[in-house]
Structure 1
Amino acid sequence: MFESHPLINVEDYRQLAKANLPRIIFDYLDGGAEDEKGLQHNRTVFDQWRFKPQRLVDVSQRDISCQLFNKIWDAPFAIAPTGLNSSLWPNGDALLAKSAAKANIPFMLSTASNMSIEEVAKSCDGEKWFQLYVVHQALAEQMAQRALKAGYTTLVITLDVGVNGYRERDIRNAFALPLRFSPRLVLDGMLHPAWSWRFICNAKPQLANFVTSEINSLEVQAALMSRQMDASFNSESLKKIREIWPHTLLVKGIVRPEDALKAIQCGADGVILSNHGGRQLDCSISPMETLHDVVASTHSSILIDSGFRRGSDIVKALCLGANMVCLGRATLYGLAAKGEAGVDEVVQLLKQDIDRTLAQIGCPAVKQLSTHYLTHEQSI
């Protein structure tokens, strides 16, 4: 597939990814739960805020770096944990990690990755965080110890998958690992020869973190694919993980201020506000709608994901008090479009978006962003 026009925004990379991938793979990447209203709401919610540009300010020099957990990052966003990335491009997890390292931004490896904790750790020198799905406590502790031994600096516990979201695109496509080669999939593969060639020439995607697991590996892989997580996970479960993890601990999948506060009280160093990109509960609110209240109630490090596609989206979240934004589909569209180069380009594009937005609103540095630069539609 040749590029028919310049790739100038994330949507362009999405369209190229759609052209490059068989439908079953693109639907897995792009889809959400049920009617996908939550997916749509995650995008339209940004329209609730408008910028109030400030003038007579020197913005000839701008700084988009940010500080989080005693480290300076070159941009105020991270690559969020996402699963089955090798179905988009071979060794996708490592390519995302390499791109993040080059950009000096955090990379989060998913429990549901196609490369193991250890393989990704060896792939690049950048800082890496590990996201943990808790299938059961013993396995969670084993995964955490593996990540610790491999040099991961932050553990991210995801809470919003007590049961699997009802993803109707995946159900209709019979999406599963290993891929089932139905006549429709074979035909679709023939219509996407570049993807098919890469798929054939590389090891078939699998849940690599469970291949060598000592605890019911087949049973656990099946549970993970169907999102059969430990639905009993509660505050005491979180405290147990806090006891065995000596570094930074984040809790992901929260939208309510009281839940964020409870996570901090259980020992978390911060939270990632998220509705799982609209892939779990279709009618969930966007984390953007509670961000300001969470910041006010916790006074801890707050990250956020779900629906971010533009640098202006990221700047709005930072104005509302987020310390960093996490990108899921945005960088995956780059990966599916052009491999590592596509991820690099999306990251660079968003850096430029943020820099341009700072200049336009009259703010010389990310660290100076505040609600001073925003107005809500109800107050317009």
Structure 2
Amino acid sequence: MAGTLNLLDVTYADFRRKAERRLPRFLFDYIDGGSGTETTLRRNTADWEALQLTQKVLVDASKMDCSVELFGEKLALPLVLAPIGMGGMTSRRGEVQAKRAADKAGIPFCLSTVGVCPMEEVAKVSGTPFWFQLYMLKDRGIVQDVLSRAAAQGVTTLAFTIDLAVLGTRYRDFRNGMQGGLSPWGRARSGLIDYALHPGWLWDVGIRGAPHGFGNLAPYVKQSANPRDYLHWTGSQFDPSVTWQDIEWLRKVWPGKLVLKGILDLDDARAAVAIGADGLIVSNHGGRQLDGAASTAAMLPRIADAVGDRTTLLVDGGVRTGQDLVKALALGAKAALVGRPWVMALAAGGEAALTRYLAMVKQDMRTALGLSGAVNARNVGRGVLLGK
């Protein structure tokens, strides 16, 4: 069964601690870790925390509103559940649970190409559209087929990840066999010990949560006896030769909204706008790719100043609280994406824990809006930040 939800579990840190106890080490480290010495991973959260809100009093806060409009849809919060590879391994059929929680919270869920649950399974949750995230594969015929399947399931917003030309050096994954040509499923002795030490996860996910492959890619992986086969296939299919010409092709074949995920440079932001992207996600892949890169909180206002009036900006990386959402709006984003928070909450207590986390984020955002004088999410500007 999923972890038990405790009334004392209310913050990201609470859910993270419980997830660390419940998940096998390889899986927790895969989600929690970053690349290199994890400098950028730490910067992401530290730079959001360093931003100071102004406090304004005697402003009518009786009609606070956290909702925003994004790509023609109303969101109850300026928040999207980000695509997480293997997110469905944290709790039984995890992406399905996440979609249900997102629906209840009135926000979008974005399914990863390498999620455990296939898009067809996620679509059965409800008629509410979800987003889909895509990596470019060498076989463009497979890419077109994936896009056709996504459109058939009601996906209208595609998030295309552009910062994975090479895989970041993730030392935690090397130690656990997730990187360097090994797989945790191939490390029999240590893997079995790790599973035995986490019986709750083993029963809930390992035994009852099958199949454990990458559901969206299952039709194309001919030899798929275990997750190791999927890891080998995706490793051979991810295309490091992708350039802006490939984005032009993608723009032509995808009829819906196209959002490019992984922008951290002003020239890249301008190029993305020029090529016809509907939105940009200011992102450093959660500190998992180029260690030493700038934080997203540092780059968001610069990119907003350069192209914010010509496109829709979103941001991810280090966002943990409702206060962070207000800060993201102040710096020019229309919404933020969170990845680690939703999978940590899911690991800690399943859909109920994720629902609790999202409710606490909303309550925290209402507090920040009411005490900063902004009141309405659509009124947030840089004036709510001290010194901006």
TM-score when scaled to structure 1? 0.93
The residue type paired with residue 312 of structure 1 is: Q
Residue 358 (str. 1) matches residue 361 (str. 2): no
Aligned counterpart, 1:38: 40
Q: Quick one: which of 208, 219, 222 aligns to 1:212?
A: 219
Matches within 5 A, 1:200-349: 200-213=207-220, 221-222=230-231, 225-226=234-235, 229-298=238-307, 299=309, 300-349=311-360
Counterpart position of 1:115: 117
Q: CA offsets, 1:291-327, max 9 Å, x none? A: 1121122221001000111111111111111000001
Aligned counterpart, 1:81 = 83
SS of the residue corresponding to residue 51 of structure 1 reads coil
Q: Counterpart amino acid of 1:237?
A: D
| Equivalent residue number for residue 145 of structure 1 | 148
> Which AA in structure 2 matches 1:200?
I
Q: Which runs of at least 4 in structure 1 moved beyond 3 Å after TM superposition?
A: 1-5, 214-228
1:180, CA displacement in angstroms?
3.0
Answer yes or no: is 1:370 the counterpart of 2:381.
Answer: yes
Q: Is the 8 A contact 1:113 1:209 kept in 2?
A: yes
Alignment match, 1:156: 159
1:10-25 matched pairs, under 5 angstroms: 10-25=12-27
- The Cα of 1:170 is off from its aligned counterpart by 1.1
Over 3 Å counting, the alpha-carbon distance change for 1:324 and 1:316 in structure 2 is same
* Conservation of the 8 A alpha-carbon contact between 2:51 and 2:327: yes
- CA separation of 1:316 and 1:178: change in aligned 2, threshold 3 A: same
Give me the TM-score of the superposition, normalised by structure 2: 0.91
1:150-171 Cα deviation digits (max 9, x unpaired): 1101011100001111111111
- What residue in structure 1 maps to residue 70 of structure 2? 68
Which string of whole-angstrom CA distances, capped at 9 and with x for unpartnered residues, describes residues 197-227 of structure 1? 1112231411112211289989994466548
**SS of the residue 1:64 aligns to:** coil
Q: Which amino acid aligns with 2:141?
A: A
Decide whether aligned partners of structure 1 residues 2 and 138 sit closer, same or farther in structure 2, where only a CA change above 3 A counts.
closer
Q: Note if contact 1:3-1:16 (Cα within 8 Å) is conserved in structure 2.
A: no
Q: Deviations over 1:109-150 (max 9, x none)?
A: 100111112221122222201100002233222211111111
Check the 8 A contact 1:178/1:204 in 2, yes or no: no
Q: Unaligned stretches of 5+ in structure 2?
A: none
Spell out, residue by residue over 1:274-297, the C-alpha distance to the aligned partner (whole angstroms, 9 max, x if none): 000011111111121121121122
1:76 maps to a residue whose letter is P
Question: 8 Å contact 1:164–1:227 — kept in the other structure?
Answer: no
1:264 CA displacement: 1.5
Counterpart amino acid of residue 208 in structure 2: C
Instruction: Please give the alpha-carbon distance, in whole angstroms, between the structure 1 residues aligned to 2:201 and 2:242.
Output: 39
1:4–1:157 distance in 2 versus 1, CA, 3 Å: closer
- One-letter amino acid matched to 1:332: V
Match of 2:197 in 1: 191
Gaps of 5+ in 1: none
For residues 216 and 244 of structure 1, the distance between their equivalents in structure 2, rounded to whole angstroms, comes to 29
Deviation at 1:107, TM superposition (A): 0.7
Over the residues paired in the alignment, what is the CA RMSD in angstroms? Answer: 2.2
Segment drifting more, 262-271 vs 139-148: 139-148
Judge which range, 275-284 or 216-225, deviates more: 216-225
Name the CA shift for 1:224/1:35 in 2 (closer, same or farther; >3 Å): farther
Per-residue CA deviations over 1:43-78 (Å, capped at 9, x if unaligned) read: 111233211122331112210001111111111101
1:180 equivalent in alignment to 2:193 = no
Separation in 1 of the partners of 2:223 and 2:260? 26
Q: Distance in 1 between matches of 2:183 and 2:122?
A: 20
Whether the 8 Å contact between 2:64 and 2:376 is mirrored in structure 1 is yes
Secondary structure in structure 2 of the residue aligned to 1:179: helix
CA distance in 2 between counterparts of 1:50 and 1:161 reads 33
**Is contact 1:269-1:301 (8 Å) kept?**
yes
Q: Provide the identity percentage.
A: 34
